[in-house]
Amino acid sequence: MPGFELFGDLERKHVNDVLENGVLMRYGFDGMRKGHWKAKELETELQNQFKVKHAHVVSSGTAAVSMSLAVAGIGAGDEVIMPCFTFVASFEAIMMLGAIPVLVDIDDTLTLDIEAVKKAITKKTKAIMPVHMCGSMANLQALKAICYEHNLVLIEDACQAIGGTYQGVSLGCYGDVGSFSFDFVKTITCGEGGAVITNNKEFYTNSDHYSDHGHDHVGNDRGAETHPFLGYNFRVSELNAAVGLAQIKRLPEFLSIQKRNYTIIRETLSQIPEVIFRTVPEGGEENYSFLSFFLPDLEMARKVSDGFKQNGVDACFHYYDNNWHYIRKWDHLKNLKSLYPISSEVKKGLEYLQNKTFKQSDHYIGRNISCLIKLSWTEEQIKERANKMVEVIKSVLG
């Protein structure tokens, strides 16, 4: 990742199709299109590749996550359990609906800790939302069992893990509803875009309507369509969808390259006994977009991170000191800094953040470094990079 590294003739062809007919909106203008419906084609391609019944493409990954919650009926005052290691969009998507994000610890999978999830369930809990960070997944079988026991919805945020699988099922398709992101730095990019994926017909229909101001999309006259319920504008443009359509057709190619590059680096780092790789739940396969590993302690991880930067090993992230992906620096959430008044229900629901600690998560995130796997590297560049990483780590370990 990211897919923009390998833009080529196929992306240009699909974009030119849109520019030549001049229709940038995904709905209407049938006569002008010359048969081109890029968003619809992208949805069909997603359904076919991931063996899922329904896919609906939207304007961003954040929109997709929020819609995944909305179509399942999650709203005001409902609690959604999520990990404290994710991108800020995960809790933003929950709060957009007036629901309450309940952040819990992660474990050595860098995703939800199962025991922490069990302890967090209350009468207000309506959903569990694992986030498949850095290309790998939570223990979805255990989470599904918890959801079944407590009558909860399992919502997968697979925005960083497209192409990964669990028990032979594509990530995003194992739970009740899932989401992908196609932003500029994802394995598959539209520039900006996302998708809601589900095998639930009702959730799909809700997605189709909700993302387009509640339009029911019945008939051929857009102006005559009815509005079964309130909706908003999360539509994707045909230009964005055109890029995504080309990219999704190339996903097997991208995954193969990622796996090759990942494997070379991992095998090289494996010579260092102190380097421990993240745990992938049994039955899971990463999408190989990141190589994540643990060092003995926080101090060493910081020194290795600095050493990587000084030696030209870019795109390796020590999330403990990161502003965007870990609870430690989310002061805007803890202090509810907002342009508009936050409801008293949400304020009360988030009071726990004033006193809650995440010592277990600190233990893992503090020692973790996650390195982006690029598609454009030559084999020589990969080997040079891997050897530099080994040199830096050994120098810090002494």
Q: Which residues are catalytic?
A: 186
Amino acid at 341: P
- Residue 154: closest CA among 208, 109, 104, 198: 198
Buried b (16+ CB within 10 A) or exposed e, 32-66: ebeebbbbebbbebbeebbebebbbbbbbbbbbbb
DSSP 131: B
With 0-12 CB in 10 A as exposed, 13-18 as middle and 19+ as buried, what is 331? exposed
Report how far residue 333's alpha carbon sits from residue 120's, in angstroms, rounded to the nearest whole number.
19
Q: What distances in angstroms separate CA 388 from CA 101, 253, 295, 367, 369, one per listed residue?
A: 40, 27, 16, 19, 15
Interhelix angle 9-21/38-50, nearest 10 degrees: 140
Report how far residue 214's alpha carbon sits from residue 206's, in angstroms, rounded to the nearest whole number.
9
- Residue 197: closest CA among 178, 212, 183: 178
Q: What distances in angstroms separate CA 135 from CA 106, 211, 245, 261, 286, one per listed residue?
A: 15, 27, 21, 14, 5
Strand ranges for 230-308 from DSSP E? 276-277, 284-285, 290-294
